[in-house]
Structure 1
Amino acid sequence: MSSLVLAHTRYQLLEQIRVPLGLVASAFFPAASMLAFVVPFGGDDPVGATRATGSMMMIGAMSAAVMGLSISVAQDREQPWNPYLRTLPAGPFPRFAGRILTTMAVMLAATVPVLVIAALLTKASVTAPRLALGLAALLAGALPFMLIGLFLGFLLPSKAAIGVSQVVFFPIAIVGGLFMPPQFMPEFLQALSPYVPSRGAAELVWSAATGSTPNITGIVMLVVWTVAAALAAAWAYRRDEGRRFS
């Protein structure tokens, strides 16, 4: 890892620590959902509680990626320091890499309350290797959401990014089966679920944590969404670059 990437990562982590609202928000909602829904209604089922824990972890990761990243990028674009950084010869990669690594750190931190609640208050069970595999799956599955966050951040002003990111986040999470197991959703949502990126991401985590066979359609669509989000984020960056420096 280059020294520039490390410098940007360190700088953005310090910003996150100094203003920890994004981290608190990413950690609070899935932990509160665990206490309100998983513990009383599914805590006694080892497999169900383990899958639900994975779902809550993915909700926290999606929140950090879609809402946290889009808002921070949009806010940075409005600061006078940002145009100066863009004039430097290093190019955009160190800043992008620093943002992605910082967001991944926030995601992992947001899983801690969920894992503690699952360990103390439910019968969820996972071995250490499967836990490590599940965390790796969490980061891999969150990639399209980080790219979506970058897309929204480069496309929208900060005030709009706050609202739009929430509108994007909640329907995708619901249809993907993160708030309710897919088999309990209405039939039309069950048919739609494999085609949203949250379902494929959840399938990765569920499979890693419990050893279940993932939904192949969901995994394929996760790859498709990742490619599409990468293209959209690159387009939004170039559009913003052209408007500011042409």
Structure 2
Amino acid sequence: MPFGYLRIELLRMLRNKRYIIFVVAFPVIFYMINANLWGAQTTEGGVRAGVFLMVSMGAYGALAASMMSTAVPWAQERQSGWLRQLRVTPLPNTTIILTKLAAALLLVLPSLLLVVLAAVVTQGVSLTAGQWAALIPAMWLGTIPFAALGLVIGSLLPVDTAQPVAMLSMFALALLGGLWFPPEAMPATMKDIADVLPSFSYADIGWHLVSGEAVPLSDAVTVVIWAAVLGVLAVLGCRRAVTRA
């Protein structure tokens, strides 16, 4: 993978004020506010709400980062002619797509790790070494379907349309996935919808890990299936976008 191109992709997003404010800062702020309000409460299993909230806000920030770093930038690159510039370089089309996905995964880390840091420092969240070793990689790699969805949106829609569609998709996945309020509080219809969404299964993996429970096979299968389907669509859409640039 050409690390020069990857470095350019990372720097472009890190200099984007909207990414810093809405994707990195907001999840931390939301966590701090809600954790101070009800983070000391405990669940039926004896786990503090602040720990569950860490997973929820970390998942939201990671989901937002993976989509915001793919959908709109990719649509902008198609429209601005940047993809045409890349086509005259020695970079194969597959490398361009994989680099974009790798950049999206790396850009997930600031939001995810800052929420974890805020939970540890301000709420005294403490997990075993094994729980941390399972939680962070699971929540990091679990964003692949959302990054792929962002690439699909950016490949098919113009910039003016891609941005609101990406935002609406992001908010819908967070809301229906139970990232903003406990899934138990959802109406029955919303709960049924949540059960088939990758956002709920993604967060549910984290909730089980911090509870010291085995991850349900259904959650892992749901995330993998969504990653596979959206991944194929992303590759097809990106190849089409690069070829027609």
Task: Give me the TM-score of the superposition, normalised by structure 1.
Answer: 0.88
Match of 2:23 among 22, 26, 34: 26
Counterpart secondary structure, 1:179: coil
- Structure 1 position 197 matched with structure 2 position 194: no
Q: How far apart in 2 are the matches of 1:30 and 1:182?
A: 18
Q: How far apart in 2 are the matches of 1:70 and 1:243?
A: 18
Q: How far apart in 2 are the matches of 1:237 and 1:129?
A: 37
1:10 maps to what in 2? 7
Change (3 A) 1:106 1:241: closer
Which consecutive unaligned segments of at least 5 residues does structure 2 have?
Answer: none
- Offset at 1:44? 4.1
Q: How far apart in 2 are the matches of 1:97 and 1:13?
A: 14
Task: Report which of the two has the higher share of helix.
Answer: 1
Q: How far apart in 1 are the matches of 2:145 and 2:206?
A: 15
1:74 maps to what in 2? 75
The one-letter amino acid paired with 2:53 is A
RMSD: 2.1
Task: Give me the TM-score of the superposition, normalised by structure 2.
Answer: 0.88
How many residues are paired up?
241
Change (3 A) 1:174 1:17: closer
Asked whether the equivalents of residues 44 and 123 of structure 1 are also in contact (C-alpha less than 8 Å), the reply is no
Q: Any idea what the Cα deviations from partners look like across 1:21-77, whole Å, max 9, x if unmatched? A: 313321122112212323311334344321210111110111011123111111111
1:141 maps to what in 2? 142
- Out of 150-159 and 75-84, give the one that drifted further: 75-84
Q: Quote the sequence identity (%).
A: 25
1:122 maps to what in 2? 123
Change (3 A) 1:237 1:98: closer
Match of 1:36 among 33, 38, 49: 33
Q: How far apart in 1 are the matches of 2:126 and 2:56?
A: 15
2:229 maps to what in 1? 228
- Offset at 1:148? 0.3
- Offset at 1:202? 0.9
